[in-house]
Structure 1
Amino acid sequence: MIATAMLAVALPISLQAQPLRGAVGAPPPATMPAPSAAAPASAPAPTPAAYTPMRPMSESVAAIVNDEIISTYDLAQRMRLLIATTGVQPTQDNLQEFQQQALLSLVDESLQIQELKRVQKDQKVSIIATDDEVQDELSSMAQQNNMKPDNFIAVLKSQGISSQTLYDQIRAQMSWQRWIRGRYGTRLRIGEDQIKATQARLIAAASKPQYEVSEVFIDAGRTGGMDAAVKGAAQLVAQLQQGAPFAAVARQFSGASTAASGGDAGWISQGEMPPEVDTALEQLRPGQLSQPIPVKDGVYIVYLRDKRAGSGQTLVSLKQAAIALPAEATAADVAAAKTKLEGVRAQIKDCATLEATVGKTPGVVAGDLGEAEIGDLLPEFATAAKALQPGQLSQPIRTKVGLHVLAVCGKRAAGAAQVDHDQIESRLTGQQLSMISRRYMRDLRNSATIETR
């Protein structure tokens, strides 16, 4: 499965996220076991007020972002929300990490809303989500948790969380996604050469081991440097080992494009992740969690959900346009048929329209050859199928029974999922938008006046 395109900002909040499966056997030296399967699916977070730093306090200034104040009340509320939605148990050791993450989120959301207000004023467009849109999103979140919106809010209020805290987070995330997609999504063009290159790479990698992975990425540029990112990742790993649901942690802490889907990166092959992550995955067994993995721009935490061996066999889905031509046909007959078939070939746009296009030319027939292993094809067909990528057409091929143009409609390793053109395009688009969003936010932070108290 290829993950669908999403921005780096996480939207869904789940109060019923599932924990990781237990580790299978003892982990290798560079790994640690995933949380026990016996861990509860969503351990109720203790009331934050039970911890001294979370007790009600007189409101003061926690930070100033371009003259806009973030109060200590706002900060405490966001900390409570993080605890309630991640399933991470607050302790004296990790409260500082909660406070840092809460403050980073509030600062980013403040910068986002300030930027969106500026854009709205300059361009006279509506970008910031309305109250009704926020309520609709809340209703959708409640439905995902098999709850009514009022009950959903009541659960948060029982843990000392104001509904306005959740509304503000939803509004900022919805609005920022809308702006990034609206401004850049329509301009972003993923070329066919990029898609075909990705298809070819995935097909080539299908013979190698494949991994079903969930990920959390801690952006060092956002957290104040690599040391802080490593420290924060180590604390999250400790909490995940104790039963915090991976998906909920990814939604709130991850800076990857998969954050909104709970860190689900789907099935990947070697080369799709940074080399450091590939090395870690080779050492993991299904059900195991990695230690923090430093890479160029931050730190990864990966959870290996499953693993499968690569296949040496390649399956292709083929269609053809053909002219019947006996083996004893004259050279003149072969040349005439080739000219006719090349004319039809030039009109075929894709596999979906092949039959309709071929049907317009008398003497040329279309056929769906289905899916088969390349090794089982006629030698002449096998040679073409190996060289062609999905969506490409062969030159006319002579056999004992006729002249054929093959269309490769799909290609995959035996036992692997079909390599889908639209899924690859969606994934590449999501990666590009995620990168744009992260760069945009870095520029906003660098140009802003941010003072923390």
Structure 2
Amino acid sequence: MTMGEFGTLRGNVTRKAGRFALMLGAGALVAGPLAAQAPTPAAAAANQEDPGASAPLDLPANPTIGTPAAPAFRGATAIVNGTIITGTDIDQRLALVMAANRNAMQGEELERLRSQVLSNLIDETLQIQEAEASDVGVSDAEVDATYNRVAQQNFGMTPDQLSAYLNKVKSSPASMKRQIKGELSWQRILRRNVAPFINVSEEEVKERLEKLNADKGTDEYRLGEIFLAATADAKPQVRSQAEQIMDQLRQGGSFVAYARQFSQASTAAVGGDLGWVRLAQLPPELAQAANTMQPGQLAGPVELRGGYSLLYLIDKRQVLVADAREALLSLKQISISFTPGMTQAQVEAKAKNFAADVKTINGCGAAEAGAAAIGADVVSNDNIRIKDLPPQLQDVVMNLPQGGITQPFGSPQEGVRVLMLCGKTEPQTAGGPTFDELMAQIEDERVNKRAQIYLRDLRRDAVIEYN
């Protein structure tokens, strides 16, 4: 389907939802406490005809008229154009974040996260409402299909197993499905109401390609971003929320999970991944931060005109230059394990003998026989990239000669091992993006900017009540 087939932009979406409020039913019966009254003599006499009529009713002195609320009932926390968001909705969505977070949160930190989760649920509700108003709503069947796919691809579970897991962590399948519906709805809105009106000329793409070739050899960065929008008066509160999220990320929280839950950029659906960008393509504030980062590092909160960003440097390379870390390796891992109950002295002695013995193995062809002779195991891998190795091993392996081995590494619990280099396929020179790929990248950049404005306008026009 071409972009033009998604339809035309509706100039002004008319909202029929008025101002809603959660209220008790009209005509309440209680004006004040009821006083117990003794029956009149006539009434007492009439009761004699009914054998059970004179039984005491045991009425409370101050009854409450009406049906008592069920203990599990949770009132509305916010009402968005008539759609209710309850405390249970917030609790279950917060549990999704907590499940991806390795550190427990409590007190003020937890309350700040709850506030951000509520904000996200409000945005999500507005996105779903806008999709339905634009006749591109997402059906339950489509949500279920995506849920099933997420269970398999993201969690390695069946849908039933994922549902059981979500209930176990005090979330729910319904909460995740609502998030999925919000993401799908927003994607459809952008395809229908934004993307068809993004124009990128051939001259722009050619100019960007020329600039790309001129920048050959300069650094480019694969960045993850969590963007929190903030108006001028809300900046202190949003900055506090950003700092709290940053603390959780530094303690091992999942950047992808936090980006999906909290980021207000259109990249939230892909875990905040901005793809490969150069510093010149970033706002000056983000470019300055990224310039000092190394892969695996976090930076932020970085203040921007419209809010704050948290950055994660996924990887770094040079424009149109082959990355040596993309080289494919053929490796053999030779390892020994330790018997439970061995003393520290015994472990050290065995490790020392292993380090000396592996040096006597004459190349990869003799690895299996040599390992068997010293009581070691061998595992081969003929298709592993240098960049996929632990960072502390990458430079070591890159500098090994054919048949060379690393120094032993490991622990008494995991055993001790060495890596032997048996082959290396050098990476090809990077060719850079094609014309079509670069055009798509520029379009995505512009859609992302328009999406932020679109969502801001939806918030501004919405009728939202907080309780």
TM-score of the aligned structures, taking structure 1 as reference length: 0.59
Q: Which residue in the other structure is 1:213 paired with?
A: 223
Alpha-carbon shift at residue 104 of structure 1 (Å): 1.0
Q: Which residue in the other structure is 1:418 paired with?
A: 432
Q: Which residue in the other structure is 1:267 paired with?
A: 276
Paired residue total: 291
Distance 1:86-1:169 versus aligned 2 partners, 3 A rule: farther
Q: Which residue in the other structure is 1:441 paired with?
A: 455
Alpha-carbon shift at residue 206 of structure 1 (Å): 2.9
| Rounded Cα–Cα distance in structure 1 between residues aligned with 2:279 and 2:74 | 51
8 A contact 1:212–1:307 mirrored in 2: yes
| Rounded Cα–Cα distance in structure 2 between residues aligned with 1:451 and 1:210 | 45
Q: Which residue in the other structure is 2:326 paired with?
A: none
8 A contact 2:228–2:242 mirrored in 1: yes
8 A contact 1:59–1:71 mirrored in 2: yes
Q: Deviations over 1:370-413 (max 9, x none)?
A: xxxxxxxxxxxxxxxxxxxxxxxxxxxxxxxxxxxxxxxxxxxx
Which protein is bigger by CA-based radius of gyration?
2
- The DSSP-based 3-state class of the residue aligned with 2:166 is helix
Q: Which residue in the other structure is 1:185 paired with?
A: 195
8 A contact 2:222–2:277 mirrored in 1: yes
Q: Which residue in the other structure is 1:359 paired with?
A: none
| Rounded Cα–Cα distance in structure 2 between residues aligned with 1:160 and 1:428 | 41
Match of 1:157 among 154, 159, 167: 167
Q: Deviations over 1:116-165 (max 9, x none)?
A: 33333xxxxxx211121111101110111211111111110111222222
- The DSSP-based 3-state class of the residue aligned with 1:128 is coil
Alpha-carbon shift at residue 170 of structure 1 (Å): 1.4
Q: Which residue in the other structure is 2:82 paired with?
A: 67
Alpha-carbon shift at residue 75 of structure 1 (Å): 2.1
| Rounded Cα–Cα distance in structure 1 between residues aligned with 2:131 and 2:208 | 35
Q: Which residue in the other structure is 2:133 paired with?
A: 118
8 A contact 2:130–2:189 mirrored in 1: no
| Rounded Cα–Cα distance in structure 1 between residues aligned with 2:191 and 2:287 | 30
Q: Which residue in the other structure is 1:13 paired with?
A: none
Alpha-carbon shift at residue 57 of structure 1 (Å): 6.4
1:92 aligns with 2:107: yes
The amino acid of 2:288's aligned partner reads T
Listed as ranges, the gaps of 5+ residues in structure 2 are 1-70, 323-427
The amino acid of 2:183's aligned partner reads Q
Alpha-carbon shift at residue 309 of structure 1 (Å): 5.3
| Rounded Cα–Cα distance in structure 2 between residues aligned with 1:205 and 1:416 | 13
8 A contact 2:320–2:432 mirrored in 1: no
- The DSSP-based 3-state class of the residue aligned with 2:188 is helix
The amino acid of 2:444's aligned partner reads G
The amino acid of 2:446's aligned partner reads Q
Q: Deviations over 1:179-202 (max 9, x none)?
A: 221233334332112212222232
- The DSSP-based 3-state class of the residue aligned with 2:291 is helix
Residue pairs, 1:14-413, within 5 angstroms: 58-85=73-100, 89-120=104-135, 127-144=136-153, 145-221=155-231, 225-308=234-317
8 A contact 2:227–2:265 mirrored in 1: yes
| Rounded Cα–Cα distance in structure 2 between residues aligned with 1:84 and 1:181 | 32
8 A contact 2:117–2:261 mirrored in 1: no
Distance 1:181-1:88 versus aligned 2 partners, 3 A rule: farther
Distance 1:311-1:130 versus aligned 2 partners, 3 A rule: closer
8 A contact 2:213–2:320 mirrored in 1: no
Q: Deviations over 1:69-121 (max 9, x none)?
A: 2222222222223323565643324212221122112211222233333333x
The amino acid of 1:188's aligned partner reads I
Alpha-carbon shift at residue 176 of structure 1 (Å): 2.3
8 A contact 1:89–1:239 mirrored in 2: no
The amino acid of 1:114's aligned partner reads Q
Q: Which residue in the other structure is 2:444 paired with?
A: 430
Runs of 4+ in structure 1 deviating by more than 6 angstroms, as ranges, are 310-313
Alpha-carbon shift at residue 415 of structure 1 (Å): 5.1
Distance 1:259-1:66 versus aligned 2 partners, 3 A rule: closer
| Rounded Cα–Cα distance in structure 2 between residues aligned with 1:419 and 1:274 | 22
| Rounded Cα–Cα distance in structure 2 between residues aligned with 1:234 and 1:271 | 26
Distance 1:423-1:91 versus aligned 2 partners, 3 A rule: farther
- The DSSP-based 3-state class of the residue aligned with 2:280 is coil
The amino acid of 1:422's aligned partner reads D
- The DSSP-based 3-state class of the residue aligned with 1:287 is coil
- The DSSP-based 3-state class of the residue aligned with 2:181 is helix
- The DSSP-based 3-state class of the residue aligned with 1:271 is helix
| Rounded Cα–Cα distance in structure 2 between residues aligned with 1:88 and 1:247 | 16
- The DSSP-based 3-state class of the residue aligned with 1:285 is coil
8 A contact 1:65–1:449 mirrored in 2: yes
8 A contact 1:202–1:269 mirrored in 2: no
Distance 1:202-1:254 versus aligned 2 partners, 3 A rule: farther
Distance 1:94-1:245 versus aligned 2 partners, 3 A rule: same
Distance 1:224-1:65 versus aligned 2 partners, 3 A rule: farther
| Rounded Cα–Cα distance in structure 2 between residues aligned with 1:258 and 1:68 | 26
| Rounded Cα–Cα distance in structure 2 between residues aligned with 1:271 and 1:257 | 21
Q: Which moves more between the two structures, 427-436 or 142-151? A: 427-436
Distance 1:201-1:218 versus aligned 2 partners, 3 A rule: farther
Give percent identity, aligned residues only: 34
Alpha-carbon shift at residue 310 of structure 1 (Å): 6.3
- The DSSP-based 3-state class of the residue aligned with 1:154 is helix
8 A contact 1:206–1:416 mirrored in 2: no
The amino acid of 2:110's aligned partner reads L
| Rounded Cα–Cα distance in structure 2 between residues aligned with 1:243 and 1:98 | 16
Q: Deviations over 1:4-52 (max 9, x none)?
A: xxxxxxxxxxxxxxxxxxxxxxxxxxxxxxxxxxxxxxxxxxxxxxxxx
Distance 1:281-1:176 versus aligned 2 partners, 3 A rule: closer
TM-score of the aligned structures, taking structure 2 as reference length: 0.57
